[in-house]
Structure 1
Amino acid sequence: MKRFLCLVVLGAVVALTACTKKETAKTQAPLQENSPAPAITVNSLNGKPLNLSDLKGKVVVLNFWATWCPPCREEIPSMMKLNSAMAGKPFQMVAVSIDEGGQPAIESFFKTSGFSLPAYTDPDNRAAKAYGITGVPETFVIDKNGILLKKVIGPMAWDSPDVLSYLEGLAK
């Protein structure tokens, strides 16, 4: 029994540290909910830049993730359902991969997994630094006026009725 408990604890520690990116630097001051979201630019998989400021008027779910992160892969199906449920509404999902392999790694992952998200890259880690991420997944909900409303650390069921209701309310 003691050995089993030790293995469970060890497994939990490994799982928690598996999705941590040591190079990711924190911002100078922690982000505060109900404050302006930091301005960032990320690149779509076809290389087109996306400025967060261009999304004013839309609710934004900004998610930092990686292909090698088990909790990230676990939450992708619910993010796909959320993205579908919010189609046609003033909403934009921005899934920023911190994979060092960039576009090829993400495209390969989507091809082999069957998953798809509006994916972006952050080649110089400026967006990750601006948001002070300490690991993945970390997600930020930004309202139509560019105000950071929520920070979620870890995976979440993004397609749950409560989450959908909350985001639909913000989108009205």
Structure 2
Amino acid sequence: MHFWATWCPYCKRLQPGLDRLAELYADKGLQVIAVSLSEKNGAMPQSVLIERGLKLKTLIDGDDLGLHKFSISGTPTTVFVSPDGKILGATMQSDPEDPQWNTVAEYLTNLPR
């Protein structure tokens, strides 16, 4: 789960890499779900992603989920969830070229379903 905001420059930097990972590992079951939070009234998160040429789907108005259930303190925050729903970790890393993204994707897609 990728917690983000339309106004966040680090999110904008990271999202193309997450979009590539989602596409690369889709056939192995990886899902990347964007969760928009801390938006101003009238923000159109899914439209922003489309304008950026991204295929990520986003949950809008994710403040309750992100801020209250996951205690997200800033954007971008990416939370890694196993197929059985366990939270395995989180990062605020915003470098889409960091090879650890592929390592985590490989790990997640090889977990038992």
Task: Give TM-score, length-normalised by structure 2.
Answer: 0.79
Are 2:16 and 1:77 equivalent residues in the alignment?
Answer: yes
Query: Which residue does the alignment assign to 1:93?
Result: 32
- Cα distance in 2 for partners of 1:166, 1:80 equals 18
Q: How far does residue 112 in structure 1 lie from its aligned partner after superposition? A: 2.8
Q: Aligned pairs, how many?
A: 109
* Percent of matched pairs sharing the same residue: 29
Are 2:106 and 1:165 equivalent residues in the alignment?
Answer: yes
Q: Determine which structure has more spread, i.e. the larger CA radius of gyration.
A: 1
Q: How far does residue 145 in structure 1 lie from its aligned partner after superposition? A: 1.6
Structure 1: segments with no counterpart, 5+ residues: 1-61
- Cα distance in 1 for partners of 2:40, 2:91 equals 23
Query: Which residue does the alignment assign to 1:151?
Result: 90
Q: How far does residue 146 in structure 1 lie from its aligned partner after superposition? A: 1.1
Q: Contact 1:141 / 1:149 at 8 angstroms: preserved in 2?
A: yes
Change (3 A) 1:81 1:171: farther
Q: How far does residue 135 in structure 1 lie from its aligned partner after superposition? A: 0.8
Partner SS for 1:81: helix
Question: Which segments of structure 1 move beyond 4 Å, counting only runs of 4 or more?
Answer: none
Q: Which structure shows the higher strand fraction?
A: 1
Q: How far does residue 127 in structure 1 lie from its aligned partner after superposition? A: 0.2
Structure 2: segments with no counterpart, 5+ residues: none
Partner SS for 1:92: coil
Q: Contact 1:143 / 1:170 at 8 angstroms: preserved in 2?
A: yes
Considering only aligned residues, what root-mean-square deviation do their CA atoms show, in Å?
2.3
Q: How far does residue 121 in structure 1 lie from its aligned partner after superposition? A: 1.2
